[in-house]
Structure 1
Amino acid sequence: MKYKYGYKKYISKARSYFQDKEKSKQLLKEAEIKANDKKGKLEEVWDKLQLLFEALRAWIKEEYKEIPKGSIVMIIAAIIYFVTPIDIVPDFLVGLGLFDDAAVLGFVIKQVSEDLDRFKVWQENHDAEEPPYGENKGD
């Protein structure tokens, strides 16, 4: 099966989420709940999935604006695919349901890997600039 095409039917839906950051924020919340619930089954893609979530969160908050629109739309489409219970292999099929989700996420992660790498560098530098909790920058 061609899992890389599985998320494509969600591209137009993803474009509407791109236009509505509150909607994207809710989607991200749903995805994080599902991911945490299925963490053991997502081991192979867990770290990259978290990076996708972090990149989307930073984009929603307008903290990180360097990621191309096409990459954000792909990320949103993959996340919509991930949270949708009925896709190529329905999630209720024990043992198989998350296989296609992981495959689609893996495909999208590979497609946007350069953008994710740049985001990760930005994130590390951004985190280094943040003062420890309770301290003011002016102190």
Structure 2
Amino acid sequence: MPLQNRVMKVFEKMKPTADKMKKDNAKTDQLLKETNLKIRKREPRKGISGVLFEAKSILRLLKAYRTGAYRDISQKSVVMIIAALLYFVIPTDAIPDVLVGFGYIDDAAVIGFVTSQLHKEISKFLEWEQGTNKE
């Protein structure tokens, strides 16, 4: 099976878990924490700054959704974001993270896929976030 198909298959399998997780504040908070830690570990690496920016954006969006500060997003989109972040933090996904140089390619692909699919909703969130930070 081609790598892209394997990655998408694993990502799709995470959606039911993500759907349940969006209703569980403790699990969502744990996912936010784990994602934040993984992003911090990866920040110094060159060539992945775009993916990290996108991951940070959807992380902030999920956090704002979780706290109730931002609700202008569909439930389907929330599930996709949670599934993408689950994929990002789980080290044994389609390409295990321990494979130096290759282990994060699939993570980047999933984050890129989700952010491209949710571009309008993420852009609206970023505009809202900028307006909120000005106050």
TM superposition score normalised by structure 1 = 0.88
- 1:35 matched to which residue of 2? 39
User: C-alpha distance in 2, partners of 1:48/1:103?
Assistant: 11
Deviations 1:17-47 (A, max 9, x none): 1111221011010011011101216323121
Asked if 1:16 is matched to 2:20, the reply is yes
- Paired residue type of 1:52: I
- Unaligned 5+ segments in structure 2 are none
Counterpart of 2:31 in 1: which secondary structure? helix
User: C-alpha distance in 1, partners of 2:8/2:108?
Assistant: 11
- Paired residue type of 2:129: Q
- Unaligned 5+ segments in structure 1 are 130-139
Asked if 1:123 is matched to 2:129, the reply is yes
- 1:133 matched to which residue of 2? none
Shift of 1:98: 0.5
User: C-alpha distance in 2, partners of 1:27/1:16?
Assistant: 13
User: C-alpha distance in 2, partners of 1:37/1:105?
Assistant: 17
- 2:118 matched to which residue of 1? 112
**Preserved CA contact (<8 Å) 1:14 1:74:** yes
TM superposition score normalised by structure 2 = 0.90
**Preserved CA contact (<8 Å) 1:45 1:102:** yes
Q: Which has the larger radius of gyration?
A: 1
- 2:95 matched to which residue of 1? 89
Aligned residues: 129
Structure 1 runs (4+) greater than 3 angstroms displaced: 3-6
* 1:67 alignment partner, one of 42, 67, 73: 73
Deviations 1:64-92 (A, max 9, x none): 01111111100000000111110110001
**Preserved CA contact (<8 Å) 1:6 1:104:** no
Deviations 1:81-123 (A, max 9, x none): 1111101100011110011100111101111111000001111
User: C-alpha distance in 2, partners of 1:6/1:120?
Assistant: 28
| Cα root mean square deviation, aligned | 1.2
